[in-house]
């Protein structure tokens, strides 16, 4: 095998498995991606959502747990491949590429679980793990919702780190790689 073939084999091995990925079960119509997009790969997220006790913007006499930032690692099987440590930004650990996104729609997940969301994505860069990613679905969430314990004037500024897990489906326009 030549150097070029070895390089190509190593590059392909570094990408998440993409074989036979189907859209997740149980999603609302509002979370479905356009027919022009196809699932490219799935990563499993594990980390925390960080909240801070603050005065509500709508009522200075009310206090709420406000979301601040995520702090999670995204895995392909046992391998950590990306970070989600900035709101709306996913960064590859191997090639330093990233994709940003904005939530387009959501679906309640029940209990103390983060809602499932559809994110309109914009890759930053033209190559690497997140090249051509056009949508992201966060589904199968466990945990991560704002704390249920009290937030009041005597604990303003207190931080709470709430554990969560989720599956992230990354989509690309059909025909792109």
Per-residue pLDDT tens over the stretch 16-62: 544 467 778 889 999 999 999 999 999 999 999 999 999 999 998 99
Please state, in angstroms and as integers, the Cα–Cα distance from residue 27 to each residue in 24, 30, 133, 138, 172, following that order: 7, 8, 20, 10, 18
Q: Is 96 left (phi over 0), alpha (psi -120 to 50) or beta?
A: left
Report the largest interatomic distance among the alpha carbons of the chain, rounded to a whole angstrom.
Answer: 70
Q: What whole-number distance in Å separates Cα of residue 164 and Cα of residue 170?
A: 19
Per-residue confidence band for 91, with pLDDT thresholds at 50, 70 and 90: very high
Q: Lowest-confidence range among 3-12, 65-74, 102-111, 136-145?
A: 3-12
The model's pTM is: 0.86
DSSP E strands: which ranges in the chain?
Answer: 37-55, 63-76, 79-86, 89-92, 98-107, 116-124, 133-143, 159-173
Instruction: Characterise 126 by phi-psi region: left (phi > 0), alpha (psi -120 to 50), beta (else).
Output: alpha
Name residue, tokens 């009310």: 62
């Amino acid at each position: 095998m030549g150097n070029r073939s070895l390089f190509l084999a190593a590059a392909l091995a570094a990408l998440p498995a993409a074989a036979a990925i189907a859209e997740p079960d149980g999603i609302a119509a509002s979370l479905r991606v356009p027919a022009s997009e196809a699932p490219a790969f799935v990563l499993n997220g594990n980390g925390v959502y960080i909240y801070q006790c603050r005065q509500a913007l709508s009522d200075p006499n009310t206090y709420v747990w406000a979301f601040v930032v995520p702090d999670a690692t995204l895995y392909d099987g046992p391998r950590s491949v990306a970070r989600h440590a900035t709101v709306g930004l996913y960064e590859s650990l191997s090639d330093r590429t990233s994709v940003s996104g904005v939530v387009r729609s959501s679906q309640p997940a029940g209990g103390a679980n983060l809602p499932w969301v559809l994110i309109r994505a914009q890759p930053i860069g033209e190559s690497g793990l997140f090249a051509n990613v056009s949508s992201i679905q966060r589904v199968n969430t466990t945990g991560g919702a704002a704390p249920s314990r009290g937030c009041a004037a005597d604990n303003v500024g207190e931080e709470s780190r709430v554990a969560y897990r989720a599956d992230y489906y990354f989509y690309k326009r059909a025909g792109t790689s």
